[in-house]
Structure 1
Amino acid sequence: MHPFVFQFLFLSEVLQWRAQTTPDHILYTLLSSRGAVSSSLTCLQLHKRAERVAALLMERAGLQEGDHVALVYPPGIDLIAAFYGCLYAGCVPITVRPPHPQNISTTLPTVKMIVEVSHSACVMTTAVICKLLRSKEATATVDIRNWPPVLDTDDLPKKKPPALYKPTNPDGLAYLDFSVSTTGMLAGVQMSHNAVGAFCRSVKLQCELYPSREVAICLDPYCGLGFVLWCLCSVYSGHQSILIPPVELESNPALWLLAVSQLKVRDTFCSYSVMELCTKGLGLQTEALKPHMKPELLED
């Protein structure tokens, strides 16, 4: 990793530096349920998308420095661009797991609770989730009229903002990290810019991350280490993150292991639930897999 990165106090500055020095370097690759690349982001592409998100927040939504923004996205590229767009606008992002379309009545109240507790000035999401939030089932569950404005980031401004926000206080708030326990208890952690830098630096040193490395990530990107690995570490260390949304394993249990094997990835991050889902799913497919196995393996 270039020693110059250690001179930056803010992750938004690191992204701008990478966009200038290595514009075509791929930071993120998102895989579909079939294992194909559905989208990717270079340093410059992420920077430009973040600029347009910042323009949406500052010019169209009229947000000010320090305003909180709830990011309600499925695991993917849009979530990452929205996060850095918030930093570029001087806003404080909060990542929130979107409501499940087949279980709105129990998942939407959690979204509403995080939006309210975090005092979010607006909600950013996709057109699909915007429609879901305005559906009859959603309005029967919560009163959306009491929500802050909901912004559709599928329709971003074409031009960048006049100027990007330049943070000055490393101890200032970078983002809010909310997690919900299995019993429904909500816990929030304030992450400063200093804490973000220390977290990313520790992961980089422990995992020996540098721009030529590829790391497969199959974690939910909404809190804790999963969020840091999904959204922050690649910008800091410069390595390519191969993103595998855990929900895709429901239709293809072999996705995570196939991606690691076929792409020859040395390191991967996943949860116990991902490993359990993967092994259980593949265990049910033993007979179907036998024709593809080597004879010596079948003898065992």
Structure 2
Amino acid sequence: MSTTEQYEVARQLAELGHSNIADVLDKACVDYGDKPAFSCGKDTLSFIQLRDQSEALARFLRQRSGLQPGDRIAIQLPNLLQYVIAIFGALKAGLVIVNTNPQYTAPEARHQFADSGARALIVLDKLLPLVRAIQPATQIEQLIVTSMDDLTNPHYSSDEADVTRLMQALREGATLPAVEAQRGLDDLAMLQYTGGTTGVSKGAMLTHRNILSNVLQAVSVIKQGDVEYGNEVRVSPLPLYHIFAFTANCIASVFTGFHSVLISNPRDLDSMFDDLKRHPFTLLTGINSLFVSLMAHPAFDSLDFSRLKWVNSGGAPLNTEIARRWQERTGSVIREGFGLTETSPVVVASTAFTPYKEGYIGKAVIDTWMKTVDDDGKETPRGEPGELLIRGPQVMQGYWQRPDETAAVFTEDGWLKTGDVGVIDEEGFLKLVDRKKDMILVSGFNVYPNEVEDAVMRHPGIRECVAVGVPDLRKGEAIKLFVSLHDKALDEKAILAHCREQLTGYKVPSYVEIRDDLPKSTVGKLLRRVLRDEARAQADA
């Protein structure tokens, strides 16, 4: 649904001469050559090595697997060098990528494979039993399999007719003639599936133009002098199957010549700390729960943060108290971004060097328009909350094979309805109040969970928290607070006393439940929906 209007980024794209995403790597090889592009553990690929490996894979995919430009290929891997090879190999072959979470259950994976119509799958070997169980319900014909240690301990042979080892595909592809991507800016590059929090998971159709435009928009906040293209080390713990990491930590990092350090398992903090000590990192991308976990690790204060220029937070709301604690302990600033799968994903991006206003995320990136509207679709005045709407060249084309859902998420004049409640001030700074559906109505007053959670997190003894609404006969809805603790001596009474000091009466939780841990998604996002559904079920009972 995005248009082909002549945005500033369209002019920049024309100057670059790129016709698809794969061209980004070709230009990076000219600019950065043998410099390190990606590391994982103790292994590293230079930009030229990445290009050679991905071209070999592209040749194999087109000339041995029977895939044609526009066919869908699913990738189901954790953060590995093989993942980056797969991304650029698929794009060089002109295929449409379907990023798939390797921790999916069989029903989740089956839905995504079947809905996308993927004909091939690049997958981790230990996931083969799950794939075999669901493959008859999909169109997958070809499996390309890799192991965690394939680059250092390569495996070449397979006994199954429809399985090719990735290392064999690379070896064979290197002997084949070159192929052309045969994809233009307005052709599909990806089907990026949403989290499914508002129904069945849907594939956002993202074109080469969408992604390349968003790369240019994201790097527009990075100025030469603040960083050095080709000389920054960026730690990337967010999984590449997440749209934020895909665009920012993969494609944009290649565009800027950053050396990206992929973290395969950010929950293995000891291993991640080894990586942080191995590389003189200057940039870090994370998520609120990761910052909490890192700061709780006994080795945190022994890390060298002297080179760290700034930290980006994306994928989930950043708690202001966590950001304050991080800055106190590291001297580095976390700047939050905002985006959606449907916007490729960046809408707002900030760095330590861009304009900042406390309590706000930042301003929209170039060629991105934002407004807020009320329930009737009428634009709300600056400074007043409303549903956030977006326009720009990064906005998706729609949902794959779902015209009704596509129509529902766009206004008649082409604005994307985000489902987020936001405030845009007179200067254009955006503050997210909350998800529209998460708002709690207490005795006729609107209460936004993020506001409650920010207040709760000002207590140093609280590790994480989630506020949800539950049915209440007197108030309509009451607030229930779930917390995990740093200070195990804290009890419900003390937590509520703190809330009364920080919040007006109707915003104070009626219930507090202390847990050892709060549920999170595979990318570390606190699962408010799970806790809300659980709390409401208990209240109904």
The TM-score with structure 1 as length reference comes to 0.76
Distance 1:19 1:4, change over 3 A: farther
Q: Deviation of residue 289 (structure 1)? A: 8.7
Q: Deviation of residue 261 (structure 1)? A: 6.5
How many angstroms apart in 1 are the aligned matches of 2:95 and 2:244?
A: 22
> Alignment partner of 2:193: what SS?
strand
2:36 match: 26
CA displacement, residues 57-106 of structure 1 (integer Å, 9 cap, x when unaligned): 11221011110100111111111111111111111111111146xxxxxx
Matched, 1:228 2:247: yes
Distance 1:5 1:260, change over 3 A: farther
1:176 pairs, out of 185, 191, 204, with 191
1:158 pairs, out of 143, 154, 172, with 172
How many angstroms apart in 1 are the aligned matches of 2:90 and 2:278?
A: 35
CA displacement, residues 146-205 of structure 1 (integer Å, 9 cap, x when unaligned): 331222224314343423224453111111211324577413221111111111112222
How many angstroms apart in 2 are the aligned matches of 1:40 and 1:251?
A: 20
2:24 match: 14
1:252 pairs, out of 252, 269, 292, with 269
How many angstroms apart in 1 are the aligned matches of 2:301 and 2:236?
A: 25
Q: Deviation of residue 260 (structure 1)? A: 4.8
Distance 1:126 1:88, change over 3 A: same
8 Å contact from structure 2 (residues 110, 137) kept in 1? no
2:202 match: 187
> Alignment partner of 2:79: what SS?
coil
> Alignment partner of 1:231: what SS?
helix
1:59-138 to structure 2, matched below 5 A, reads 59-99=63-103, 107-130=105-128, 133-134=131-132
AA partner of residue 70 (structure 2): G
8 Å contact from structure 2 (residues 62, 179) kept in 1? no
CA displacement, residues 218-269 of structure 1 (integer Å, 9 cap, x when unaligned): 2121132122123211221211112223x3x43325835x755664423211
How many angstroms apart in 1 are the aligned matches of 2:53 and 2:128?
A: 20
Distance 1:251 1:83, change over 3 A: closer
RMSD: 3.0
1:146 match: 137
Q: Deviation of residue 117 (structure 1)? A: 1.1
1:273 match: 289
CA displacement, residues 36-60 of structure 1 (integer Å, 9 cap, x when unaligned): x2x2111111111112211221122
**Total equivalences in the alignment:** 263
Q: Pick the structure with more helix per residue.
A: 1
Distance 1:22 1:190, change over 3 A: same
CA displacement, residues 84-139 of structure 1 (integer Å, 9 cap, x when unaligned): 11111111111111146xxxxxx1221111111111111122333335534xxxx3
2:44 match: 40
Distance 1:253 1:90, change over 3 A: same
How many angstroms apart in 2 are the aligned matches of 1:14 and 1:251?
A: 32
AA partner of residue 187 (structure 1): K
Distance 1:189 1:274, change over 3 A: same
> Alignment partner of 1:232: what SS?
helix
Q: Deviation of residue 4 (structure 1)? A: 11
8 Å contact from structure 1 (residues 217, 229) kept in 2? no
How many angstroms apart in 2 are the aligned matches of 1:112 and 1:132?
A: 9
8 Å contact from structure 1 (residues 11, 235) kept in 2? no
How many angstroms apart in 2 are the aligned matches of 1:5 and 1:24?
A: 25
Question: What 5-or-longer segments of structure 2 have no aligned partner?
Answer: 1-12, 146-165, 303-328, 330-541
> Alignment partner of 2:239: what SS?
coil
> Alignment partner of 1:212: what SS?
coil
Distance 1:206 1:69, change over 3 A: same
8 Å contact from structure 2 (residues 34, 48) kept in 1? yes
Distance 1:234 1:5, change over 3 A: farther
8 Å contact from structure 1 (residues 126, 154) kept in 2? no
Distance 1:269 1:207, change over 3 A: farther
How many angstroms apart in 2 are the aligned matches of 1:41 and 1:228?
A: 19
AA partner of residue 20 (structure 2): F
Distance 1:289 1:194, change over 3 A: closer
Larger Rg: 2
Distance 1:253 1:274, change over 3 A: farther
Q: Which has the higher contact order (CA 8 A, sep 6+)?
A: 1
AA partner of residue 243 (structure 1): L
Distance 1:200 1:243, change over 3 A: same
8 Å contact from structure 1 (residues 54, 88) kept in 2? yes
Distance 1:159 1:221, change over 3 A: closer
How many angstroms apart in 1 are the aligned matches of 2:94 and 2:183?
A: 11
Question: What 5-or-longer segments of structure 1 have no aligned partner?
Answer: 32-36, 101-106, 291-296
